[in-house]
Structure formats: structure tokens, C-alpha cells
Structure 1
Amino acid sequence: MTDVQPEPRKAGQPGLLAKLMAVVQPEFRPDVLIPDLRDPIFGGPPCMVVDCDYPVLTMGLCRPHYNRWHHDRPDLREYAAAAGPPFTRHTALACTVAGCRYGRRAQGLCSQHLYLWNQAGRPQLVDWIAAQPPVAPNPFPRICLVAECEIWVHQQTPLCPSHAQAWRKAGRPELEDFVARYTDPFPDEICIDLRALGPQLRLEVQYALQCRRNEHQGKLRPFEAMRTIRFLVTSQVTSLLDHDEHGWRQRMRVRGMRDSKASTFLIFARWKVQDLTEAGGWDAEYPRDVWRLRRLGIEDNERVLRFDGIPQPWLRDLAKRWARWRLSTGLNRESAARPTRAIARFATFLASDKVGVTRLADVDRAVLERYLADLHAEMGGSQHQGNHIGLLNAFFTAIRQHRWDDDLPTTAVFFTEDYPKRAERLPRALAEQIMTQLEDPANLARWDDPAKSLITLVLMRCGLRLADALALPCDCIVRDADGAPYLRYFNHKMKREALVPIDDELCDLIGRQRAEVCARFPDTTPVLFPRHAKNPDGTKTMAWTTYRRALNRWLNTCDFRDEYGQPVHLTPHQWRHTLGTRLINRDVPQEVVRRILDHDSHAMTAHYARLSDTTIRRHWEKARKVNANGETVTLDPDGPVAEAAWAKQRISRATQALPNGYCSLPLIKTRPHANACLTCPMFVTTAEFLPQHREQHRQTLQIISVAEAAGRSRQVEMNRQVADNLEKIITSLETDQQHPEATPDAS
């Protein structure tokens, strides 16, 4: 929820009353609303107490029964069987000492008996209460003014302690009015009484209640709505728009309104009334410096896009046009907010005294070079610096592409050299020692929630991004013609559906999770991992922050350690890297890995999935190696020669790289001619260089033809040997490809 700056009050709000009369539905028009007790927003499942129909608040109990159970906390099942019908708000609990009718304070005792029990050294409470003489005061104290409440009162007020506390919380109204409230036949548990509100304010609250139910924006029990209504009554306002959002929050703090549900509903109600008053859509929202995206139909929650950090009107208008264009292409809020923040920083730089640029025509290369220096001084060549440069460059490109302003100089451009150099990031796959601990069934069983344990398995075995895993629908399992299961998900980055094969164990676990979720939300089509709070119909997904916090708790509980004995810290995305690396090192073709990870390019797959050193050696040992004469070269895989050859081959790749093979010449020696490899006995090559050999063979034959025509016999003789050797190499390696079973297995 975003707290925005105070908005100026709009005098009179012309036309609001007529709009409210037109939109408030008949079922929300009564002055006393009695919602369905099973309504997913205003009600819920019934209390577990026998013969109680009030909706559950917590622990399977309604609010009245929970409040009574909470005092002594007896066995929950025994209490539910013996508690009886719901208690009314008229009665309060009396002291448990025989004959005492003073209100309870703690331990089931009134203030006087609690003091005596403490003075006695806090003995066994049940025995101490049984030993107390019955209380029989003469004369008897007065009883509470509230009807049906028989609790004795103290001298300070004519109310029992419980009702006195409620009177103080209500703002100390007239006692006559306060007591009359308890004779009302409508209890707060099942009714929302709007009679104390003025005509327009009542319609506004009715409209907010209607929006809350229609939009399924979290539960709102009647007693929580009544707290908001009583606060509005004591605020003496005629409309929710009498104060801006900032003003309402200040008044709630001053009044000590700590009920988050009640205060959140008040702000929610003001949003809805304000949206009804002010026109929506691009025509109305575009001129504002703070866009509320819910008015544009982009997001349901209270998200804004701010342009008030750009002081120059000419630059602010261009930033708005760019943001509107990006949003219209289907990008999310953050894809428009990050560029806007980058422009705001650039605008602050332009407005500084040392620059003083006042028009777009002055934004030339010289200004950008000064900005690059200023940006580097703050960000020091970090990734954020490159992001700022890239976003600003894209902004300039959009201005030219769409002809938004022809005053932008052609020199206002960033070049490749302007971006800070980035070192190639190493693969983030987890070590197998760590993965063995993470995949241990005993450790997986230590998750505090089976749903989060299942999310972890999906991330490990399927390589999904966390956002895609959390958004899985309930019907995410599909099968092919052979009955093999696949996980169907929506790749939000690529904006497309994708499939990944899964094993039967994971398929069964997903089936159990689906059955549990559908049993919890039988009347809707929930997601596979629904959010626990503010999700009455199960259609909202678990937040990624919720899973990340649970993941950190699990890592701490299991005390995972790396090879150095340090605690393991990881991100969910590392499991995606790990899966790609594992598949590559199990000889799964890269094209298959690309499809499993649903990448657009092989370059991304290559970055995720790096071959381990042992895998490279295994393939090198299996490959058929021939010398310059096409003769097979073999090595003992277990002998010291093979170890030395492998070490030298790794060094040769870095220090003596050849375009068509490897040099087996000792490193302390050098070749007399750089192009003498194909006539050198130290030359070794494999089938991976066949394309280079074929091309060199073609070029060599061309050289021989030209030399023969020119009569250069020495050149013909030298290249004829190269061509013959190439022919032998190609024939030998092609035979190896056509008959792989003939390849010597050196592994």
C-alpha cells in the first residue's frame, strides 16, 4: 500500500451523491446490513461450538466463544462441546470465587481476589479458590447499567470493568447513549449498522462494502466494519473525502485506532469513493503527476507511477509519453517505473546549478559525458550504472523513433564504450555436496508447510523461476499419449505456456496439494499455492517474499553447510542453474536442455549450464583422436601418461590453440613453422574439427591448381603432402562418425 502526498480537498464534490445513488446495489441499501453468515468476505465457516452459527474468527471459534475460551484456555474440544449458544455482548465474566460477582481481571479472579492469591504465594489456583469463603457483602454492590449484565461495579463508574473499558474505547460517549446501544437487537457479529451515519456518508460506506464483496479484497467481518463506522461517527464528517488519505491516517493515529482491518477498510473506502468521483482512463489520469494504475485497469492494488520527481515540464511530458507507450505494449508497472526513476535522476542532474540545462536542445553529447562522470562517481561502475545508461539511451531512441520532439540533438546518444565493463558472471549452480543435503527426504520433511516443501521440489526438479512456480494453476498436470506426466506452466518472462517432464512422485505430490486446495475452496477455481491471508476465494497466489522468508527459516533449521563448513545461503533461482548444469553433465543435448528451461536462445542455456571439468575429460577420452597421417592415437586412461596428456591438453587449449586440433609438442619446445601442423607428427585432432578440415582441404586443392598452372613445382609438392594428410584425416574421422561402435572406448 502506497502512502501518497496529501491531496487538496475538493469542495462540494459535485455529482457524487447522484453517482452513489446510481451504483449502490439494492442489496447494500438497507440501513442495517445482515450479510450471509457463509459469505466468503463478510462471513465464513461456522464456529465449532455446538449450536453456534457465528462465523469463525480463529482457532475454529467465533469471536464471542474465542474471547471466553481465551481467559482460561481449557481443552478446546471439551469447551466446544459444552460452551452452548453464542454469548451476547451484554454479559461479562464474573470472578470464579463463590459468591463474587466482580468482573475478572486475570486468572479468572477479580482484582481483590487476584491480590489475595498473589499475597498467598500463588498456590495451586483450583485448591486456593475452593478454600475461599463465599462472598456475601452487605449491602450488595450495584450491578452494571448494561441490561442483562449482572457484574458488580466499582465506585468510579456505574459500569462493570469490561463495559467500562468498552465505554472508554468508544470515546466516553453519554452513558445513556452507550447503554442504549446494548439494547439493540443487531449484534456486531452478524450485522453492519449504518443508521448513525449521515445520508451521503452512509451511501459511501455502502458502496465501499459493495466493492469489497465484488472485488474479493480480503475478509471484512461485520464487527471490524462496525469499528470503522463508529470511528466515522465520532469524527463528525459528512463524507470520506472531507479529509485526504494522509489526514485520515493522522486522525487514526491520534485516536489510537490500532485495528488494522478497520483502518485499512477506511482507506480502501476512500479510494473507491475518490475513484467514483474522479474520471478514470488515460484521458483523466495522463495529466496527473502521480498515476494510480488501478484507474487504468493495470493493477488491482494501490500502485502508483510517479513523475513528480522530474522538475522540468518538457522532460516530464516526454517521460509520461514513454511510460504510456511502454505500458500499452503489455509491460508491467516495474518496467515503466524503473525508466521513470532513471529519467528523474537525469532530470535532477540537469536542474543542478553546475549544469543548468533548461531545454531539450541543450542535451548534447557534452552534457551526457558530464552525466556519465557524475553517475560513475555515485555508482562506481556497478550494474545499476549500466542500467541507468541503457534506460536513458532507450528513452532517447524512443523520442527519435516516434518523433516526439525533434529538438533532441543527434549527438545525444550513448555508445558501447560508455557502459561499465562487466566481467562474465560465473555459473551459479550449487555444489553437489549442498544439493545432497537439500534433497535429503529427512531435511525436506522439516519444512513447516507441505505446500512450501512442494514448491521447493518443483524448483529443484523442473527448473522453474519462482514466480512461475507460485503461479501454477490447480490443473497444471497434463499427460502425453503414453500417459507420461508433464508440468504445464506459464513462462511469464517469455509470455507463453511451456511444458516440462516430471516424475511420478512429483506428480502424486502435486495431486495431493490440488485435492487439499480444492477442498478448502470448493466453490472457486483456486491456484495450486494460494496465499493464506486476504484470499477468500483462493485465486491469489502466495507472495514470493513469503516463500523466501520460509526458505531462510528452513535453511537455518536444517543448518546446511558448504564444503568449507560455512552456512549455506542460496536463492531459489540457483536451482534453475543447477538443473541446467546437471543435465548438460549427464550428456543431455543442449537443445533438449534449452527446451526444458524454455530459453529463447542457446546462448542463455550455455550460460546456465556449464560443463564440469570431469565431463569434458570424459568426452575427450571417448573421442577418437588421429594424427596427421590419419592414424588412431590411443592412451591408457588409467596410466600416468593419460593424466599428463589431459593436463597438457588443457594447457594447450589456452597456450597453443590450433584452429583444427591440438598440439602434443612438449610445452618447452616451439614449432619452426606456424602452419606445419598437418605434416607434423605431434599434431592430434578429433571429429569436432571435421568442418575445418574439409574447408582447408578445399582451399589446399585450389592452391595446388593455381601453382600447377604457374609451374611452381615446389609449392605443388609441399601442398600435395598437406592435401594427402587432410584426405586421410577426413576419411578416418568420417568413418568414426558413421560407425561409432568401432571407436575405442578409453573410459
Structure 2
Amino acid sequence: MKRSDESTYSWLHRLNPDPYSLAVNAALLELVPPGLRLLHYTRTTVPAEHLGAFAFYHRKIGPFHLDGIPEPMQREMMFVIWRIIELGGRVPCAPMGLLMRELAETTQRLKTAGLPFQSLTDRTPAQWKAELSRTWVKRTHAFPNPQTFRTYVSPLDRACKILWFTYDTSPWWQREVWDLTMDPRIPRRTQEPSGQKAIHWHTMEPAWLRHGGMYFVKSMMESSQLAWSTAHGAKNALVQFARFAMARGLTSPRLVQDDRQLRGLMMEFLTELRSTPNYGIRNRDKPRSPASIGQITSTVRAFYAFMHDYGDEAAAALDDDRWDGLSPEYLRFWRPGDIGSSKKEHFDESYLYSDADLAKIKAAAPLLGLPRAEGGFGDPQAMRILLLMMTTGRRINEICMLDARPLTLLEDNLAKLRYQQTKIHDAPDTIFVDQEVIELIQEQQAWLHAHLATIGADADPPYLFVSRHNNLRGQNPYLTHVFRTQLTKLVDRAHLTDAAGDPLDLGKTHRFRHTKATSLFNAGVPLHVVQRYMGHTTPEMTMHYAQTLDSTAKTEFLKYKKITSTATESAVDAEDLYDLMLLDTRTDRVLPNGWCTLPPAKTCEKGNACLTCDLFATDERFLDIHKSELVSLDSLIDQRQEIHRERTGEPMSENHVWLTLRRREQQALSTIVKNLETGGSKPAAALPAPATQAREQAGMLGGQGVRTGHRP
């Protein structure tokens, strides 16, 4: 149990200092399997199917006994032991045995002194620890060793938290701590990991805003407008408004006495968001981004819009009539343009992994799966998660939440992969995958089967990738933060660096998704196909990646000076030329050795004679092609002259029509090659254009002539 459990329970106890219920206590054993309703937990009494969940590692105090504590506490501890097992944890027998021994003596002392007690929930963990310490001092005439004391009371925090949630039968949303693990009533998506971070409302003040926010987020979750992960974001946004409300002394949901003052107040809030630093862990003390400000203001606006529309229901549920009858002014805090655009600027193309980076990462991935004895991480799951992210472009949560049988085989080397759509409601949740992905999934399924057999867990787990810790029943997924930690270690151990020599930041796992989407566009996959593959509901989402591709290609295109067939600089501006090349009607103007700048409305009358056309442009990336063309052209001229001599007995005249055209091309090529060789060196960091290889292959000269500008 985390160290924060005691402080969490202290808040829970403050909210409901007397959660104990005699009826609930009497019914606790009905929730416990008969085989675990024991007073003595030993190696021989615990059922074989649960024996692995008990850490009987100490010969003297491994077994523990409940017969020394009062009967209500006995039922509570039996239930706590079962819940620990049910949640996939392991019962710490030695600390539990010490705790039960000290608790038995302490409850007897309290009974003799006439002090009230009947349940572990009668006191907070801190109060129980104080009583346990007094018992120790009374028996030994010395204070307990701090380390020993912490060890034997460690199960107490966990037990108190489990029992508080069990005894509190109020509606789940009225609890000021929302915990998926502790309360199955909280709405959740299919495959939602229950071990995710709880939502703590109790720290938010003022109370009217805390209670209203809880009702709003609860309603959005029940209507599937918010998921568990986005509920965290909504709560955090409301926290920012709560800070503002406390600083301004706002004591009512109506915020102001005169609605005409409302806009001025909310403009102050907007100004404060822009001027105060971020409170978050990741960007603490940094200025808020436009996206962050947009998210906060949109949540506050949606909150009050909801309360305006459903104020009567909220007032009844919260027992606060002030929420009822909000005026339309609460629908228009800010006017268009007040907040500004939160649209992200186009990110730097360096955010994409290069082919060289991907090759390095893929080569280092097996290190994750190698056993520790062989210098690896001993984590084959992390290796396969990484490879699946690289191959499919799925989000990290979508991989970690894959169900145990996510494949639908269609034919040899082809299948559909079903994933958990974690971000966009009603978006596509399947993609086609090839043999590489099929094999990765099958390897993980084999590993999972063997792992579950080793720990004696259920043979039908909900997840393909499972946590290795506190997951004896195999019900919890592989945690994303554990995966990111493994990636950070991999970068350090494998010395993974980018082209500039800086360590690769693999912790930003979304980078794999950007790279995958851009590679699909690079391969010429249509927009609507990429949209569905990436799981987007609108083309605008997908166009973000298309803009990335366009920016990358444009930057590459503009690196080089464009020259014409006469080796002079092109009269068409380079940016204009790039835009011309992207017009649908201009696809036939992209040549194997350059570009044709003929306006779209005109047709070419020169056939294949691009090298002698003043509308032809090229740059030094095509130098090797031009050299090859020149060699092939020289060979072709010699060949044709020899054939002419054999057939006529005379050399071919320089006035021959065919030879005249070839000499012009020869002169143009020679001039272009010479100019490109002497006109400046190629940038060291230059990258090949997306279709360079295809153009090189298409531009190779055959024996039929010089194909310098084929037009379909």
C-alpha cells in the first residue's frame, strides 16, 4: 500500500468519522470465500488455490491468528485479507502476525480501561498506532524500534482504507475520494484499468464548488461524455477556478451580486491564468500554454453551462438551491476572440523519428527482453509493447489495454487487430496488421499463458500485457509509467542517440504515432485510409500529420537552388514552384530528373525534350542522374552513328535531324552537370526527397532513347 494511504484515510475519516455499520459488519463474511473464513492462517489451513497469495516466509511468525481480537474485528480482517487477494496482492504474513498480536493486547487494554472500540474504523491509523505504541511501552518499558514498528503496523493503513470504502454506502460520487479499485460502482470503459490514480476532491475549496464539480463530472461520466482519464483533467481544471474563487472570496455559485459584473470577473480569471505559472508536476512554474488555458476555460464554461441547463436537478442532488435558476449570462463568460486560439503550432520535424533512429531503437529492443543474467532487463513484455508501438502507431494505453485475444485472422499473413480506443469516443478501434504484428501478439500470448500457469492465476485474463507486481490473479494490465521507465533505462544502457548525438527521448511515446502517420502519407496512402488507421473521426485530425509531411517535404525542396536547362536560375520562385508541384493536375510535371514549370492551362508541345525546354528546372540532388543520362546519351549517339555508317557507308551528318536534337540534349546535360558540380556543395545534413529512389529508377536511360520527361 502506498505511503499516502494513511493521509488519504485521515481525510476519509474526517469526512465520515463513524462509518461503522453493524449490519454491514455482519454481512462481511458473505463476501469472503468459505475457505478463507479462518481464525488461524497457516500453511495447512489456507486453501491450496490461495496459498500463493500468502507470504509465509518467516518460520516463527509466518502464520498469524485472529482469535485474540474482538469478533467484529475478526470479520473485518477476514474481509481485508480476501480483498487483498482479490485485488491481486499478497498478504504480508509476518507483519500481519505481529500486528494481530499487538492489536489483541491493545484491544484488551482498551477494554480494561473502559475506552470505546468495536471496529478498526473507530480510529484513524495514526490513532491506532499511538495506542499500539503505548501497549508496547507498557509491556517492554521501552519504545519500539522505529523500523520494527513501521513493519508490523504497515498492513493497518491498507486495512482501514479498504474498510472505510466498504462501510460507506453513500452514492459513489458523494465520496470525496474516487477510487476505481475500491468502488466498482464508478462508471468505467471496457478494459479500464482499475489501478489508475484516484481522484481526490477533498482538497478543493470552496465547498460549494467542490460539490458542484463532483456532481458535474459524475453526470458527464454517466453519460459517457467523460471517461475516467478525462475526468482527472476536468477536476484539475476546476481546481484552477477554485483557487481563483478562494482568492476572490467567492462564497456562492452565482459568483456576483449583479450579473452585469460577471464578464469582468471571468476576464480577471482569464488574465490570472495567463499571468500565473503552471501548478502541474510536468510543467511546474512554467507559463501556461494556450492549449492549457483553452482546456481550463472550456471546462469551466461547460460546467456552468451544465448547471444552467440542469440547475434544478443539481440543486436537489446537492441540497443547495443556489444552483437553480442561473441566468443566461452564465453561458457567455467569454466572447469569441477573448481566449484566443489554442491550436498547436506545427511541431518541429525533428519530433519525428528518422529511419536511422527507428533502426537503432528496433535493434536495441531485444535488450528489454533478455534475461538479467545475460545483461538484459528481463522484461519481454516491454520489448513487445515497444515493437507494437513502432509497427502500428497505437497509443501506449491502447497497447497496454489490449485484451488477451485481440486478433481476428483473415488469411495467411493478414489479420485485424482490435484495440481499446482510449481517447476518442465512437472512433474506429480495429486496424489491419501483417505477419510481423501477428507473430508479436502470438509470442506475447504464449508468454502470458506460461506466466499465468507459474503464478496459478486464472487462465482467462482480461489483458494481453499484465503487471508483474501485485497482480497474482493476472487481472491488472501492464502499467504505462513502468514502460516509460524501462524505455528511459534502455536509452541509457544502449546509448541511443539521434543524429546530433543527443539521447533519444523515448519517454514521449506519442512520437512513434506521429512517425507512423507521416510514414503512411509518405507511402502515398490516401487521407481517408490514414484517418481510419489512426482512429480519427474527422479528417482535420489526420491533416495534422499531412501538414507535417508537407512541411518536411517543402523544407527539403527549398534547400536547393533550382536551375533551368540553360543552367541559369529558374525564373519561378522556389516556393511557387513547390506549390505548383502539389496541384492535382500537375502530377505529370514531376520528372525523373527535375520538374516541369509549364502552367496548368497549357499543354506541352515538346514531347520528351525536357532538357532543351526553358520550362524545365532541376537541382543538385539529380546530379548523379544527369551524369548517368550524359553517359548513356554519349553511348547512344556512338551506337546510332555506327549503325548509320554500316547501312550507308558514310558517317552521320551533324545536320541530321536526330543527331541535331541529341547534340542539343548533350550540350544541355553537359552544361547542367558542370553547373551543378561547380555551383556549390550539397548540404551535409540533406535528406533524400520522399520519392528520390523511385525517380532514380525511373530516370535510368534505356536503349530506346533519353526519357528525360515522360508525360503519361
TM-score (norm 2): 0.63
Q: Which amino acid aligns with 2:270?
A: L
Counterpart for residue 515 of structure 1: 446
Q: 1:410 to 1:263 in 2, by over 3 A?
A: same
Q: Which of 29, 39, 57 pairs up with 1:31? A: 39
Aligned 8 A contact 1:661 1:686 in 2: no
Q: 1:257 to 1:23 in 2, by over 3 A?
A: farther
Q: What is the rounded CA distance, in whole Å, between the counterparts of 2:102 and 2:460 in structure 1?
A: 37
Aligned 8 A contact 1:459 1:466 in 2: yes
Q: 1:40 to 1:642 in 2, by over 3 A?
A: farther
Aligned 8 A contact 1:42 1:220 in 2: no
Displacement of 1:524 in angstroms is 2.1
Aligned 8 A contact 1:290 1:305 in 2: yes
Q: Which amino acid aligns with 2:222?
A: S
Question: Which SS does the other structure have where 1:478 is aligned?
Answer: strand
Aligned 8 A contact 1:464 1:576 in 2: yes
Q: 1:301 to 1:408 in 2, by over 3 A?
A: farther
- 1:349-405 deviations in Å (ceiling 9; x for gaps): 234358787844546101111212222210445232222212111112212233453
Structure 2 residue 483 is matched with structure 1 residue 611 = no
Larger Rg: 1
Instruction: Summarize the alignment of residues 385-424 of structure 1 with structure 2, pairs less than 5 Å apart.
Output: 385-404=293-312, 405-410=324-329, 412-422=332-342, 423-424=344-345
Q: 1:218 to 1:429 in 2, by over 3 A?
A: same
Extract unaligned runs of 5+ from structure 1. Answer: 45-54, 65-87, 90-187, 621-636, 665-680, 688-741
Question: Which SS does the other structure have where 2:35 is aligned?
Answer: helix
Instruction: Summarize the alignment of residues 45-124 of structure 1 with structure 2, pairs less than 5 Å apart.
Output: 63=57, 89=60
Is the deviation greater in 564-573 or in 289-298? 289-298
Q: What is the rounded CA distance, in whole Å, between the counterparts of 1:560 and 1:302 in structure 2?
A: 30
Question: Which SS does the other structure have where 1:63 is aligned?
Answer: coil
Q: What is the rounded CA distance, in whole Å, between the counterparts of 1:603 and 1:475 in structure 2?
A: 32
Q: What is the rounded CA distance, in whole Å, between the counterparts of 2:404 and 2:483 in structure 1?
A: 18
Q: What is the rounded CA distance, in whole Å, between the counterparts of 2:151 and 2:464 in structure 1?
A: 27
Question: Which SS does the other structure have where 2:394 is aligned?
Answer: coil
Counterpart for residue 202 of structure 1: 74
- 1:52-97 deviations in Å (ceiling 9; x for gaps): xxx8x6xxxx736xxxxxxxxxxxxxxxxxxxxxxx64xxxxxxxx
Structure 2 residue 509 is matched with structure 1 residue 569 = no
Structure 2 residue 478 is matched with structure 1 residue 478 = no
Counterpart for residue 453 of structure 1: 383
Displacement of 1:309 in angstroms is 4.6
Q: 1:10 to 1:539 in 2, by over 3 A?
A: closer
Question: Which SS does the other structure have where 2:431 is aligned?
Answer: strand
Q: Which amino acid aligns with 2:103?
A: L
Q: Which of 560, 582, 585 pairs up with 2:496? A: 560
Q: Which of 273, 297, 306 pairs up with 2:185? A: 297
Q: Which of 244, 249, 270 pairs up with 2:124? A: 244
Q: 1:743 to 1:228 in 2, by over 3 A?
A: farther
Q: 1:280 to 1:302 in 2, by over 3 A?
A: farther
Counterpart for residue 230 of structure 1: 101
Q: 1:686 to 1:595 in 2, by over 3 A?
A: farther
Instruction: Summarize the alignment of residues 27-426 of structure 1 with structure 2, pairs less than 5 Å apart.
Output: 27-34=35-42, 39=48, 41-43=50-52, 63=57, 89=60, 188-189=61-62, 191-213=63-85, 215-220=86-91, 222-236=93-107, 238-248=118-128, 256=146, 263=153, 265-282=155-172, 286=174, 289-291=176-178, 294-295=182-183, 297-298=185-186, 300=194, 304-330=198-224, 331-352=226-247, 359-362=254-257, 364-379=262-277, 380-382=287-289, 383-404=291-312, 405-410=324-329, 412-422=332-342, 423-426=344-347
Q: 1:613 to 1:646 in 2, by over 3 A?
A: farther
Q: 1:487 to 1:280 in 2, by over 3 A?
A: same
- Root-mean-square deviation over aligned CA pairs: 4.4
Question: Which SS does the other structure have where 2:474 is aligned?
Answer: coil
- 1:6-40 deviations in Å (ceiling 9; x for gaps): 42543985545534466555434442244676746
Counterpart for residue 580 of structure 1: 517
Paired residues, what number?
521
Q: 1:618 to 1:399 in 2, by over 3 A?
A: same
Displacement of 1:543 in angstroms is 0.6
Aligned 8 A contact 2:217 2:235 in 1: yes
Q: 1:374 to 1:13 in 2, by over 3 A?
A: same
The structure carrying a bigger helix percent of its residues is 2
Displacement of 1:640 in angstroms is 6.1
Question: Which SS does the other structure have where 1:418 is aligned?
Answer: coil
Counterpart for residue 625 of structure 2: none
Aligned 8 A contact 1:524 1:537 in 2: no
Q: What is the rounded CA distance, in whole Å, between the counterparts of 1:551 and 1:396 in structure 2?
A: 42
Q: 1:642 to 1:196 in 2, by over 3 A?
A: farther
Question: Which SS does the other structure have where 1:439 is aligned?
Answer: helix
Q: 1:529 to 1:313 in 2, by over 3 A?
A: closer
TM-score (norm 1): 0.60
- 1:101-160 deviations in Å (ceiling 9; x for gaps): xxxxxxxxxxxxxxxxxxxxxxxxxxxxxxxxxxxxxxxxxxxxxxxxxxxxxxxxxxxx
Q: What is the rounded CA distance, in whole Å, between the counterparts of 1:686 and 1:22 in structure 2?
A: 86
Q: Which amino acid aligns with 1:340?
A: K
Displacement of 1:419 in angstroms is 1.9
- Determine what percentage of the aligned residue pairs are the same residue: 20
